[in-house]
Amino acid sequence: MKKAVLINAGSKYTQVIVQLLLNIILARLLDPKAYGVVAVITVFVSFFNILADMGFGSAVIQDKTLSEEETSDIFSFTCYLSLLLSAVFAGLSCLVAVFYNNSIYSVIGRILAVSVMFNTLNMVPKAVLMKKKKFLAVAVRTVFSSAGAGAAAVILAYCGWGIYALVFQTVISSVIAFLWNVTTAKTKFKFRFSLNSIKKVLGFSSYQFGFSIVNYFSRNLDNLLIGKVFGEFYLGIYSKSYQLMTYPINNLTSVVTPALQPILSDYQNDSEIIYEKSISVFSFLAVSGVFVSAFCCLAPEEIILILYGTKWTNAIPYFKILSLSIFAQMIYVSAPAVFLSLGDSKLLFQTSVKNTLLTVTGIFAGLIGGSMYILTIGVTIAYNIIAVHTFYVLVKHGFKHRPGRFWQDMKVHLMMYLILLLSIVVFPFHIKNIWIGVIVKGLYLGSIYIILLFVTGTYRIYLNLVKKSTAK
């Protein structure tokens, strides 16, 4: 696990630096409306990516009895599926254009159909690499495809391609990822394949597929409705705030989460081992998340203006509210991998249905109130409740433990988070110069955070990781 984390961390933070530089440039070359248009069509691309996966990726990782022949059958099935889904996506993009009354969606939809096809093709090769614990190969590919696609987008944006720069960034990234993965995994295509291989994993994959569908609507319904009700400009503002909120979540958890199921699934018959290792992971993410969440809440103006410039000032209040969900999401996003490691995709699906109802309630509260501000508050509250509900179900029904055991293990991190938030309320301050402001706020909150690390003893989480990694 530690080896996988180090590899993922090296690749991810290299990617973070590259993406951060590219996003800073793109945010200044393109306007909020361009991002709003792409946010709308990206919602549909994400949905088709879920249809492409159908839960087979996780099933290939989880089922240790699959032969190479059976894996090739599943891959061959997805090859035919990729052609079907890309054709359907290109056709449905015309309906999206009618729904949003903007013909540009039909044009960029046909271009992004290429991305849908390659994302479908990539599903099995990537799963094979993860199953074989080829984390370094996946890590190198991730950095290369991201950097290459991002650089191409910057060049296109600079040359005046506008929204199409973001569209081709998605396409280029998917093409590079597939070619790299299929070459490394050496997955074979067969014109005629056996359906028995598909049926073998269908029981597990069907619930995982159901979870992905439900989770998709939970994560994207706000974009769909905001674009329709409030317009593309406000969707661009909201989506950029949301993207920035998920930035630390994705970039901190993604060094750990990809390795969870491939490694913990080896112990799927011993839930106690999985629980102990999972708590270690959750604690690591929690102790990192408490500071990130509090700092984003303290310095939203400085973060937005430094990263994206003055044209994005409208995003500041939304980002500040959303940042209050970072801590909860930092821990929560790794929970599905633990459900799957236990082999309980059905419980994961059932939990996600209830979580989606919570998210929908928060979104519609904002729509009824007619305010983006209220909607953002509703979504933030929903994400915090979802985290509590998910861990309650995971511990009680997944691990068969008392829920109080989990909260006992996490109480120190919750206390640290509340103290940091209280320090923001007690001593709010504003500095006109954004560079001085972000430094002063960072030093202020960072000092409190370091003191809390030593007072609570949670500094050992970092220390143990460094010691054991060095020993390796």
Q: What is the pLDDT, as a whole number, of residue 294?
A: 92
What amino acid is encoded at 40 in this protein? V
Please list the ranges in the chain whose pLDDT falls under 50: 469-472
What amino acid is encoded at 49 in this protein? N
**Domain map (residue ranges) of the chain:** 1-229, 232-472
Q: What is the pLDDT, as a whole number, of residue 16?
A: 65
What is the rounded CA–CA span in Å between residue 120 and residue 446? 43
The encoded tokens of residue 217 equal 């609507």
Among candidate residues 414, 409, 397, 305, the one with its CA nearest the CA of residue 354: 397
Q: What is the pLDDT, as a whole number, of residue 173?
A: 84
Q: What is the pLDDT, as a whole number, of residue 2?
A: 63
What is the rounded CA–CA span in Å between residue 412 and residue 457? 9
What is the rounded CA–CA span in Å between residue 387 and residue 217? 17
The encoded tokens of residue 229 equal 């009700």
Q: What is the pLDDT, as a whole number, of residue 255?
A: 61
- Report helix, strand and coil shares of the chain as percent, to nearest 5: 85, 0, 15
Q: pTM for the whole thing?
A: 0.64
